[in-house]
Amino acid sequence: MRTQIKFIINPVSGRTKGGVNVPDLLNQLLDTEQYEPEIVFTRYAGHATEIASQAATAGVSVVCAVGGDGTVNEVARGLMGTQTALAILPKGSGNGLARHLGIPMNLSHAINILNQGEPSAIDACTINNHPFFCTAGIGFDAHVSSVFAASTRRGLQTYVQMVLREFFTFQPQKAILRLNGEQLETQCFVVAFANASQYGNNAYIAPMADIRDGLLDVCLIRHLNLRKAIGISYGLITKQIATSPDAEYFRTREILVTSEHAFKFHADGEYIGESTSFNVQISPLALRVIVAREEGRNG
């Protein structure tokens, strides 16, 4: 009996990737002796979550997100706590969760992971009840996410340009962090909550993060001048950020952050809004994902 698999395609994602026709590629490469496929396209924000949840309720074995981090987040949101596994065909600009799980950026190779992979459970997290599976954050990264969300341009180059432009006007704010029975009052340029190791595009905010350990890796950056920012940026792309004196790390199952003035916040790179209070929690092994067999065994 073939395994039911539903592909949820965001038709907007990856427009700069040469116009690859995913249905045609699946028709050529998907192992249809193993899988019974169905393809659906999203029509509005949140649609992928609805489709995924309905598929899980109907007992579909695998739901595959075809798109970027936003699409992956929406699909995964609909599958949390179910026996239906998430698969990913990365077609966005960051692809943070796909990269952490070792899923190739080449769509043909990613389909091969589907054909030969296996399910493995990973942790899932929430920030103020908004699910995330890779990273969330408050401060500068969320501020840039808000600017990026309002832009009509996409891609890594646009994002880098926005980071450089916004850095010189962004001001850190005071906040109180409560975790592991302790309280820390400090200035916050960034507080990043990492389930996986990276934001996307191989920018490693928490290189030591284990997506299956039941713990959040919290990165606190209090203040940055230009020289320190260059060092942090170098650390992000070389996986050396954890050795920087300007980045502090904590591990916890839950963290509460409060502030007098509102912080912007994001979940998996998607700008959510503003708040003066953030409760971040982790749900161990709450999501099943399809990964390469070696990655599943070693993870």
Q: Is 205 in the same domain as 262?
A: yes
CATH code of the domain containing 60: 3.40.50.10330
Share above pLDDT 90 across residues of the chain, in percent, rounded to a whole number:
74
**String of b and e for 225-256 (b: at least 16 CB within 10 Å)?**
eeebbebbbebbeebebbebebbebbbbeebe
Residue 176 has pLDDT above 50, yes or no: yes
Average pLDDT over residues 169-183: 96
Residue pLDDT, tens place only, 222-261 = 998 888 888 888 898 888 998 899 999 999 999 999 999 9
Burial of 129 (0-12, 13-18, 19+ CB in 10 A): exposed
Residue 291 has pLDDT above 90, yes or no: yes
User: Does 146 share its domain with 213?
Assistant: yes
Same domain, 109 and 157: no
Question: How many domains, the chain?
Answer: 2
Token pair for 231: 């060092």
Average pLDDT of the chain is: 91
- Dist. CA 189–CA 205, nearest whole Å: 14
Residue 14 has pLDDT above 70, yes or no: no
In which domain, by residue range, is 105 found? 3-116
- Boundary of a domain, candidates 94, 116, 138: 116
How many other β-carbons are positioned within 10 Å of the β-carbon of residue 97?
29
The residue type of 209 is A
pLDDT band at residue 175 under the 50/70/90 scheme: very high
Q: Note the pLDDT of residue 153.
A: 67
pTM: 0.91
Residue with structure tokens 């493995």?
Answer: 120
Same domain, 159 and 47: no
- Going by C-alpha positions, the residue among 191, 178, 95, 66 that lies closest to residue 141 is 191
pLDDT digits (tens, 9 = 90+) for 119-149: 999 999 999 999 999 999 999 989 988 877 7
pLDDT value of position 298 = 42
Domain endpoint, select from 116, 142, 169: 116
In degrees and rounded to multiples of 5, residue 278 shows phi and psi of: -135, 120
Residue 192 within a domain: yes
Q: How far apart are CA 257 and CA 205, in angstroms?
A: 19
Q: For 75-121, how does the pLDDT look when each residue is reduced to its tens digit (9 = 90+)?
A: 999 999 999 999 999 998 889 999 999 999 999 999 999 999 999 99
Decide: 193 and 135 in contact? Cβ < 8 Å.
yes
- According to the model, what pLDDT value does residue 109 have? 97
| Domain membership flag for residue 297 | no
Residue 17 pLDDT more than 50? Answer: no
Whether 81 and 142 share a structural domain: no
Asked if 205 and 177 sit in the same domain, the reply is yes
Please report the pLDDT score of residue 16 as a whole number.
41
Q: Is 291 part of any domain?
A: no
The span from the first CA to the last CA of the chain, in angstroms, equals 29
Beta-strand runs (E) in the chain: 3-9, 35-41, 62-67, 85-90, 118-127, 130-132, 135-139, 173-179, 182-188, 190-194, 216-221, 248-252, 254-267, 270-291
Ranking 77-81, 199-203, 210-214, 283-287 by mean pLDDT, the lowest is 199-203
What's residue 188's pLDDT?
96
293 lies in a domain?
no
CA distances from 3 to 52, 66, 225, 281 (A): 16, 18, 54, 33
Last residue of a domain, one of 51, 84, 116: 116
Does residue 248 sit in the same domain as residue 137?
yes
Kindly indicate the confidence band of residue 297, based on its pLDDT and cuts at 50, 70 and 90: very low
Same domain, 204 and 109: no
